Structure 1
Amino acid sequence: IAGCPQPLMDLIVRCWAKDPNARPTMAKVYDVLTVFQTIYPEGDSELIDRSVLENTKVSTEPKPVLPFDPVASLTLAACESSPNTSTLDESLSTGSVIPQSQKRLSSRSFQSKERESAGQASAPSRGIAAPEDWSFSFLEAIDPHLKPVAPISHRREDEELYLAQLMACKNLYELECELKCALREKFVLNVLILVN
């Protein structure tokens, strides 16, 4: 079947084995499909029907226990390489979040830069200098309650604190992406173990 994950294809083949004793039990099928539901929470609804899974009674035979982590069930925003942070990393190591060489951007020039960078999430509409190659797309993916609030005053300390908070959010986003990728790989390995 085109596009069918190999562990699921193996399960289908085993379900149709000529010898009934070679076929997996319904509990085993349920376990594998539950893992797939966790790995692909937004997958094809015909592949895994939640109402059938919730109403299915499984036998009392012992089943392998898979660890469930709510982070793994989150939709992956992206597991891509992160935007370049070397400029910010250098600034943090010298003790200043905003390098002295960078000037503050006026709101007008910042808005024109926003219009030029189509496809990227917009940065907070403040006149704060951040590296030009720094994408703010991670702000769209993190929990809204974790997004830093732009400072009202234009005091340097407030803006430096705001940039430090942006950097912390960016690091959190990158760690979440890495964790989600690792958890997805772990669940795929668990599926392979269950199928075999």
Structure 2
Amino acid sequence: MAKKENSAKTPPTREKILGTAFELFIQHGYEGTSLNKIVGQSGVSKGAFYHYFPSKFDLYQETINRFFLLPFEKFDISGLAKLSPKKARAALRAHYASLGEQMTGSSGQNMGPVLALMFDSFTRLPKFHKKTAAIYASLIKNLARSFAKPDKPDRRIKRRARKFIAQLEGEILLRTIQNIPE
């Protein structure tokens, strides 16, 4: 249930910087990742870095938005409301099953450091926190609409939708805690 992707290509150097930065932010956090380390590991000059990003913080913001929000932005959240409850739940299960790979580019990644980076980013980037909250509100609203057809969702149905999303999120967390690959 993916949306159509934007056909505009991102320059390969920019992509390389973003990918390298994400890996380093996962491993070392924002504070532990120096600009020199990003430039060195991505194999670009500082001039190339500054061509694409005014600062490390700007790179951080874009990296966090790209890798954490983009998988949800590609998913047709509003389309959930049009599906039967069974199909909506299946679409969300499939989406959540692929989240780790969508975010990190590999399956089986230890999600602990990835989740730590995400939660740290809520504090550092209030707009990211707000966007993430809006995405989850939309997921709950549209899943509740699927559950409530043809009626308008009431508080009980919204709570049921929230519990289903929480179950999917909890599975990611529990797999991480128990070190169970995706």
Shorter-chain-normalised TM-score: which range? Answer: under 0.3
Greater helix fraction, Structure 1 or Structure 2: 2
Name the TM-score, length of structure 1 as normaliser: 0.25
TM (normalized to structure 2)? 0.26
